[in-house]
Amino acid sequence: MLVKNKTFSIVTLGCRTNGVESNAINNQLTDSGMINVNDINKSEICIVNTCCVTKRAEAKSRYSIMKATRSKLCKVVIIVGCYSQINKNLILDRKVGIVLGTKYKSSLINYLKKYDGVHPIIAVNNFSNKDKFENYVIENYHNNTRAFLKIQDGCNFMCSYCVIPFARGRQRSLSHKKIIETIKKLVSNGYKEIVLTGVNTAGYFENKNYQFYDLLCDINLLSGSFRVRISSLEPFQINHKIIDLITTNKERWCQHFHICIQSACNQIISDMKRKYTITAFIELCRYIRSKNKMVSITTDLIVGFPTESNDCFKESLINLKLINFSDMHIFPFSLRPFTAAAKLKNIVSDQQKTQRFTQMSSLNKMFKNQYLNTFRSQTVKVLFEKSTDINYQSGHSEYFFNVKVKTNKHLTNEFHRVKITRIIDNQAFGVLI
């Protein structure tokens, strides 16, 4: 297919890693002379970057595919990502021309050029232990003020509820030299916040002599006015050395730890095949706060796991109150194919799952409000983002909560000190200092 001057759009579902990869696809296509119109209904080529982490994510993926195929202008639909990796037989419509999994996203432009408009292309292969990291290094981000750098892909841990190892394969990492080189280029291109991301970010492993902590040390030594945020961490992969490095270098590192707990009940943690105890998790959080009492600790939490009895749920509530997160991302359990949890006897009804989700959401609202109110009259450093409100400029603090400032000044991509003056509906407001 001749691609020059063809219009396209990308629909991205799921995690930040998908977002990074969609941005890389965008750069591939625009570098080949294509035009991103960011609207399925105005695109000749529609790309759907799918997700399969939950049933809801799969449903959204299917809906986006259907919407793309119904667009009158669209001539070719391309399906990529985790959902297509484990459901490769997606040629359900004559407009679906190309189906790629997670393995060949970085070569999408090559497949598009090979496509003859008649014969569908399906390139979905299983992962092996020999697969190498696909290069998704990006030096400019479409419509973003922060840069996301994918340093790792895949996961070696087989948590009983998770389908991602089947969709993304074994762990593999980008070379540290390429990471450092890319950060330098991103900073020179004007980005002031770099987000290290991956499927299992702290599982970064180049070799036995160079792992995640070594990478953080090298990043810490770089010059320039920029800060770094780590997208997520597993509690069994973060240690005191990592915590000390981050909390003692506050100008370089966002004071935010997103540590995935999934459940706060030991029995469920064990049933999930997770590699920690709730006691160890609580002690980890205590150590982090001993280094910076204002630090933000957020998490992911699953409610309604098949073996979660009423007593297990109550135990989770008690332990979560002991930890006192600043925010929680809460998900109802979603049964995934191929996983060990799919074989468990389910003792949780849909009604119970909904009730538990509602109860946890209320608890989280309280956690978030308590945390934000500790910043009243405190000063934070905000990186301002593109504003959609003519009366307010907004951005994220080093503690990763959003702050709004009433001003007519153009502050996009600038650091400013802001004094927090009030909290309304879990939104922080402040004034420039």
Judge whether 73 and 95 are in contact, CB under 8 Å: no
pLDDT digits (tens, 9 = 90+) for 128-171: 666 788 776 676 765 578 899 999 999 999 999 999 999 999 99
Supply the pLDDT for residue 386: 85
Instruction: Count the residues in the chain.
Output: 433
What is the value of pTM for the model shown? 0.93
**Cα separations (Å) of 384 from 139, 256, 315, 405, 414?**
20, 17, 40, 10, 6
pLDDT digits (tens, 9 = 90+) for 51-105: 999 999 999 999 999 999 999 999 999 999 999 998 877 666 678 999 998 888 8
Written as one string, the DSSP assignment of 402-418 is: EEEEE--S--TT-EEEE
Supply the pLDDT for residue 143: 58
**Cα separations (Å) of 256 from 252, 261, 288?**
12, 15, 10
Written as one string, the DSSP assignment of 212-235 is: HHHHHHHHHT--SS-EEEE--B-T
Cα–Cα distance between 100 and 49 in angstroms, integer?
Answer: 10
Q: Is the pLDDT of residue 270 over 70?
A: yes
- Summarize the confidence of residues 242-271 as an average pLDDT: 98
Burial of 336 (0-12, 13-18, 19+ CB in 10 A): buried
pLDDT digits (tens, 9 = 90+) for 376-403: 999 999 999 988 888 899 999 999 999 9
Supply the pLDDT for residue 104: 87
From 132, 199, 134, select the one nearest 165 (Cα to Cα).
199
Coil, helix or strand at residue 25: helix
Q: Is the pLDDT of residue 175 over 80?
A: yes
Place of tokens 């030096």: 139
pLDDT digits (tens, 9 = 90+) for 277-311: 999 999 999 999 999 999 999 999 999 999 999 99
